[in-house]
């Protein structure tokens, strides 16, 4: 039997408002750019990492009234009883789609914003 621990998870944005809609899925990622530090006298390239970037993608059933460019605090209430507060975020993209005889779905991508 599959683990259904995600079912019942809610996301609010801003964190003081109502749930943003019916969640289909949530995806979180962190990445850091590669910064080349190679000097003209070096015989091999040297690198370090830049400032990490954190992104969260929310897949929703139905449309969403949230627009790209919106900012505010975002909170995830996981069905297992834990809560993740991501602090101030910005919605960097929104994609809504549907097809004949199918459902409408939306995808929102958010990333950390300045305070």
Instruction: Write down the pTM of the prediction.
Output: 0.73
Per-residue pLDDT of the chain in tens (115 residues, 90 and over written 9): 556 777 888 888 876 666 677 888 888 888 999 999 999 999 999 999 999 888 889 999 988 888 899 899 888 888 888 887 778 899 999 999 999 999 999 999 999 887 6
For residue 14, whether the previous peptide bond is cis, meaning omega lies within 30 degrees of 0, is yes
Instruction: Count CA atoms within 13 Å of residue 71 on its CB side.
Output: 5
- Residue where the block lists tokens 């995600």: 6
Measured at the CA of 78, the angle between CA 72 and CA 83, to 5 degrees, comes to: 55
| Rounded Cα gap, residues 54 and 72, in angstroms | 15
Distance CA 113, CA 92 (A): 10
Identify the DSSP state of 68. T
């Amino acid at each position: 039997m599959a683990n259904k621990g995600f079912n019942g998870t809610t996301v609010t944005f801003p964190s003081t408002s109502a749930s943003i809609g019916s969640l289909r899925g949530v995806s979180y990622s962190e990445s850091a750019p590669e910064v080349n530090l190679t000097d003209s006298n070096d015989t091999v390239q040297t690198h370090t990492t830049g400032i990490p970037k954190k992104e969260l993608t929310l897949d929703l059933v139905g449309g969403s009234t949230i627009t790209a460019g919106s900012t505010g605090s975002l909170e995830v209430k996981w069905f297992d009883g834990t809560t993740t507060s991501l602090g101030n975020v910005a919605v960097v993209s929104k994609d809504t789609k549907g097809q004949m005889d199918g459902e409408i779905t939306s995808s929102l991508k958010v990333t950390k914003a300045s305070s």
